Structure 1
Amino acid sequence: MPKEFFTVGALLYKDYDLLDVNGSLRMLGSLKANFNIITITQTGEHVTSFTPQIANYINYNFENCPDFDILFIPGGVGTRDELENSVFLDFIKQRVPKVKYVLTVCTGSGLLAKTGLLDGKKATTNKLVWNWMTSFGPNVEWVRKARWVVDGKFYTSSGVSAGMDMVLGFISDIYGKEEADKVALEAEYQWHDDPHWDPFADKLPGTVDLSTIPS
């Protein structure tokens, strides 16, 4: 396996989705010799997930976090607040040009789209809130029927568990499919390795607005 090493900066916020973060980062974290993962919030304070009894440890704030190679943006109900948070969006704008890759899960792609950095790129997002999310990126080439989409250094995935499939796809692209299969097997996870596999695009209405979901 290649020895290329990456530091992953995981950008968290209040009411992020646990599976978006922990499921996806669990896959990257399996390759400890290749990935270092740091967690970042705006103030450096711990934030609760949408499952408020559970949260992740936070390493840095926007001011003191070091450079990293991969920006990881999860989704979650808290997306609705961060879409109106200029400090949060400016951090994304500042960091994206500096990193080698950007990985988003679920509504995390809506946050990226709101910055304009996805304009002209292909991307996907959560199918349950499709209409609402895609409205924040009118110049993005949204792909509804996709588990995940790759366009240059941007990897965007559909809802929640799709993040794990996308990350395994990323591992496959960088280190080879054999390595991705090994990570999935050791996690006892059934990896859907076809990015075009997406039965949920036809089953979920795409009309839910996160503002209607209570915190």
Structure 2
Amino acid sequence: MKGRGQVLLLAVIILASAVLYALSVLKYSHPRAVLIRDYVQAAEVVQLARVWIKSGLCPLCIKQTSLLLYKLNKTYSLNIPALTNDTFKNISLNITSGFANYTVIFYTSKGPYVRVLAYYEYEYVNSYFRRIGAEEVLVYNYTLRYYHIYDGPWGRILLYPQLIDVYLNLDLRYLGNGTWIVGIPVNMTWRLIDKFEIPIKIGR
């Protein structure tokens, strides 16, 4: 796994640890040992799943970050329960339509603990020409729906992450409820990611 992902994971976990400490100080007037296993720990696991999905569920990434989390959990007493996991990936990308489904499920000894789903689907609508510099460039126009679902101790959260046009050469417009219009210039390099740096691939 790249160092950047490790730093991100470490920052999130240490921040969560600090939050837990602050909560324990506020809750009790005298210092005492506190074991808190609630939403913050589950949120750390959601972040871990997003790092995995960003990597395309790369087995090496999963192995390295799982080991990192284990060490941090032990070192900083984060109180994350012992976990096992299942990962699923189902992808079909074509010029006219496609979808990608990434699912990560974490289990404790008592059963399912956290489930993270990242899903998108797209469909070709039409094409048009757009002037870029001195050229008239053919653009393929798609509708895209993209969302995350987080199941955990809090119940279910549905999230529509912000999308980012990395090279600023897409026609990108948000319609609401996770639905976007995406115009892709033909024969140009482009990159579309979400706010967690998870890549969105269309037609390839």
Same fold by TM-score, threshold 0.5 exceeded? no
TM-score, normalization by structure 2: 0.28
> For the pair shown, which has the larger CA radius of gyration, 1 or 2?
2
Q: Could you say which structure has the higher strand fraction? A: 2
Q: Could you say which structure has the higher helix fraction? A: 1
TM-score, normalization by structure 1: 0.27
